Amino acid sequence: MPETENLILWIKVGQEIPMYSLLVNNISDVLPQSGSRCFPFYTYDEDGSNRTENITDWALAAFREHYNDNSITKWDIFHYTYGLLHHPDYREKYQANLKRDLPHIPYAPDFWGFAKAGQELADIHVNYEEYPVYPQLQHIETPDVPINLKVEKMKLSKDKTSLVYNDFLTISGIPSEVYDYRLGTRSALEWVVDQYRIKTDKRSGIVNNPNREDDERYIVDLVGRVIGVSLRTVEIVNGLPSLV
């Protein structure tokens, strides 16, 4: 990873919605009213100097001793943690604790299984905008309706197998497994459908327009990318090693 980059483990805990985690590489919304916490790999002084790894030497030594493996790095521990936080059994077993406390990270039997899975999850979640568009979607244009790729609104069908994009386009062939990758109470795709639309703030009058002038296909392709990321995430999570 380039020296100028940082990754932040963004964790949501609290009573309102189930715990979830996400890796980001930019400033994130801490959602103070909802128990959100951020843990960067690197920390800095306010002037940007004195970069420090947020995983301590003590933690590194403890992991190496437990697994009898001196090849383990701090980045490996970071990715191990991210992989473990996605394990359904971990979330179910500690769901009561995770409503009121930050996650506690156990030593799972297969360190490298979690570390490698966490590294791939990190890559596809941080770089979701470069992930390949899911190729099996069908794009059905509505006859006599002008083409308009600049999104105004999107809406999922009742069975969630298709998505109406503005009024001229229907994107169909969405696999049901897409909705198994959830960030709290919604799937990643449902968050995109809700957030990527033109909205006007009633108090300020500020218009939020997610369209990109330099890439009119950005959002329609983003839908396909998020579907691909979601399917791969579910596949990785289903293949995670046992916790016992």
Tell me the mean pLDDT in the region 115-122. Answer: 97
Give the model's confidence band at 32: pLDDT under 50 very low, under 70 low, under 90 confident, else very high: very low
Read off the pLDDT of each residue in 96-116 and give the average, rounded to a whole number: 91
Quote the pLDDT of residue 67: 98
pLDDT of residue 202: 87
* pLDDT value at residue 35: 63
Ranges 25-34, 169-178, 179-188, 211-220, most confident: 169-178
Looking at every residue in the chain, the average pLDDT score rounds to 90
Nearest to 7 by CA among 185, 127, 184, 146: 127
Which residues, in sequence order, are bridge partners of residue 187? 182
